[in-house]
Structure 1
Amino acid sequence: MCGIVGLFLKNSKLEPQLGSLLSAMLETMTERGPDSAGFAIYGSDVLGVKLTLRGPDPATLAGVISDLETATGHSCQKSPRDTHTVLSVPAGAEAEVRAWLAAKAPGIDVVSAGQRMEIYKEVGLPASVAERFDLAGMSGSHGIGHTRMATESAVTTNGAHPFSTGLDECLVHNGSLSNHNDLRRRLSREGLTFATRNDTEVAAGYLTWRMREGASLGQALQSSLTDLDGFFTFVVGTRTGFAVLRDPIACKPAVMAETDDYVAFGSEYRALVDLPGIAAARVFEPEPAKVYAWERH
């Protein structure tokens, strides 16, 4: 079933409230996905690359990062949050850091990479996951979240959304794709790598590949209507943008609200009811097979 929430702030004065607003929206979707939860936050820029790392526990992850800094000679800015740590590395050192982690620390996952994006996800109730990472205390321009009810795979942290396969790009998904195995093989030949067998990671990889080939986010989403077989609602985040797409049948629930200050998405309207100014918002159901996109520069 799963639940999706998203919030894109047009008004920069609301940025300190992004985490608290998104946290409340995420918790409201608990009944749609009590197994695990995750969220992406687009916060402050760094000069290099933010790598969000996940380990089995905080102490193990801290030890691995210390060994990494010693081995590579890079002293990195670190922002630990429970089982995750955001590691800021020089842009030119990203490949070296990833190679060291793959060779020396196979139990540490690179959850996301980007100049602004940070992704956090874990098994557990959405409220618990949000509290563990202090989502309510985070700020930024936009964020998306997901609560998962695993119906086709095990309940694991790796299976939780959002999924990211490109810099500052991520996707959450409600639905099911039928051709994801074939598409995964095709994208692997294009140089993309996948950490799970989850169909949502393939959808994220598809968008990354299309944009790498020169398509805009809107164009990539539009082409997915032809290339992805199944039923889905996607909410996508990029460094400057936020987008929504439902498949041509649109069998999964979705509602949006827009004001002068923000655009919000929820799998159900109750996820939006506590947003500021919601009484005066334009509330609507996104149409099937239509790309909705907003950007902030």
Structure 2
Amino acid sequence: MCGIVGLFLKNRALEPQLGAMLSKMLVTMSARGPDSAGVAVYGAGSTDEVKLTLRAEDVGATDALAQEFSAALGRPVDLTVRANHIVARLPRDAEAKALQWVKANAGKVQLVSVGTHMEIYKDVGLPEHVVNEFALPSMSGSHGIGHTRMATESAVTINGAHPFSTGEDQCLVHNGSLSNHNSIRRTLVREGMSFATQNDSEVAAGYLTWRMNQGDSLKQSLTSSLKDLDGFFTFVVGTRDGFAVLRDPIACKPAIMAESDDYVAFGSEYRALSVLPAIEKARVFEPEPATVYAWERS
């Protein structure tokens, strides 16, 4: 069943409120998936730096791992610790060494995402727990997406929670089910990609990353997915510059959107949008099947 939300701010004056607005939207979707929840927030960043979001397998070891990570790099590192997640902001020339440390410490720490502006936080439990655990209402940014999951095809784990990220500043949340994800996974593995879970949504994220690495735009990649990915789905995709929405040709999963001068918002149900400011002045509509909707910062 699952619940998806997305929020893209046109009005930059609202950026300090992004986390608070996204939190309300996600908590409203709790009944659609009580197993796990997660968010991707696009905030401040620079193309000269990279952000690594890491997750400690043992929450009690998070601070110690952060210190080990900093010491291993042998240089000052800008670290933010939120519960069992660590966001490391690094110069580009330190990225390779940082990723080597993560690989060497597999089992103690896991890479959640890489980007210049994106940070991903996720955990098992209700959205309210996840929102409070990572202090999402205090976060600012230009856009973000969120997901609350009802596990139907894989175990309830943090690894199985959305969003899934398979490329820099790229992530995806998904409501639905893909029937050919194993064959797509095998193709992508032959192309050099790797996957951390058996979740079909991670394959969808990987497919889009692969297409974009071939030179396709996000819109072209999503259009191609209509031909190559079999199943029923609604995708909300985040990139450094914006977000996009796509429903399968049947559009059996619920979806609603709202657009105003201040924002563009997506929800699995209208009640996720009803908590937004001045929603009564927004244009509310149902996205058409097999149609890519995308918004980006200029």
The TM-score normalised by the length of structure 1 is 0.98
Greater shift, 145-154 or 59-68, is seen at 59-68
Please give the alpha-carbon distance, in whole angstroms, between the structure 1 residues aligned to 2:66 and 2:276: 38
Q: Which residue of 2 aligns with 1:235?
A: 236
Letter aligned with residue 18 of structure 1: L
Deviation of residue 42 (structure 1)?
Answer: 0.2
Find the aligned partners of 1:205 and 1:111 in 2 and give their Cα distance.
14
Conserved 8 A contact 1:42-1:141: yes
Asked if the contact 2:57/2:107 (under 8 Å) is kept, the reply is: no
Give the Cα–Cα distance (whole angstroms) in 2 for the partners of residues 58 and 156 of structure 1: 15
The 8 Å contact of residues 4 and 268 in structure 2, kept in 1 or not, is answered as yes
Partners of 2:275 and 2:69 in 1: CA distance: 43
Deviation, 1:104, is: 2.9
Superposition map of 1:260-275 within 5 A: 260-275=261-276
Contact 1:64 1:105 in 2 (8 A): no
TM-fit CA distance, 1:119? 0.3
Determine the C-alpha separation between the residues in 1 that align with 2:68 and 2:5. Answer: 37
How many percent of aligned residue pairs carry the same amino acid?
67
Give the aligned partner of residue 49 of structure 2. Answer: 48
Mapping of residues 102-113 of structure 1, within 5 Å: 102-113=103-114
> What is the match of residue 34 of structure 1?
34
Indicate the larger mover: 26-35 or 94-103: 94-103
Q: How far apart, CA to CA, are the structure 2 residues paired with 1:232 and 1:207?
A: 14
Unaligned runs of 5+ in 1: none
Q: Distance in 2 between matches of 1:104 and 1:78?
A: 18
Question: Counterpart in 1 of 2:73?
Answer: 72
Shift of 1:250: 0.4
Query: 2:8 is aligned with what amino acid?
Result: F
Q: Secondary structure at the match of 1:136?
A: helix
**How far apart are the structure 2 equivalents of 1:92 and 1:125?**
38
Stretch deviating more after TM superposition (68-77 or 276-285): 68-77
* Match of residue 206 from structure 2: 205
Structure-2 residue corresponding to 1:133: 134
Paired with 1:123 and 1:59, the residues of 2 have a C-alpha distance of: 16
Residue identity in the other structure for 1:264? A
Provide the rounded CA distance (Å) in 2 between the counterparts of 1:289 and 1:75.
48
Paired residue for 2:119?
118
Look up the equivalent residue of 1:182 and give its one-letter code.
S
Q: Which amino acid aligns with 1:139?
A: S
Counterpart contact for 2:58–2:108, Cα < 8 Å: no
Distance 2:121 2:293 in 1: 25
Counterparts of residues 56-205 of structure 1 (less than 5 Å) = 56-205=57-206
- Alpha-carbon distance, 1:241 to partner: 1.4
| Contact 2:57–2:110 (CA under 8 A) maintained in structure 1 | no
Deviations 1:68-97 (A, max 9, x none): 332331321001100101011221222221
Quote the offset at 1:105 in angstroms.
3.9
Tell me the alpha carbon deviations over residues 226-284 of structure 1, each in whole angstroms, 9 at most, x when there is no partner: 01011100000000011000000000000000001100000000000121111011100
Partner SS state of residue 93, structure 1: helix
User: Is 1:247 the equivalent of 2:259?
Assistant: no
CA–CA distance in structure 1, aligned partners of residues 105 and 84 of structure 2:
18
Separation in structure 2 between the aligned mates of residue 212 and residue 74 of structure 1, nearest angstrom: 32
SS in 2 for 1:22: helix
Measured in 2, the distance between the counterparts of 1:246 and 1:96 equals: 39
1:185 Cα offset (Å): 1.2
What is the alpha-carbon distance in structure 1 between the residues aligned to residue 246 and residue 81 of structure 2?
A: 33
TM-aligned CA deviation for residue 62 of structure 1: 2.3
For residues 70 and 263 of structure 1, the distance between their equivalents in structure 2, rounded to whole angstroms, comes to 42
Q: CA deviation at 1:190?
A: 1.5
Q: How many Å apart are 1:65 and its aligned residue?
A: 2.7
Q: How many residues align?
A: 297
Aligned-partner SS, 2:34: coil
Q: Distance in 1 between the 2:57 and 2:182 partners?
A: 28
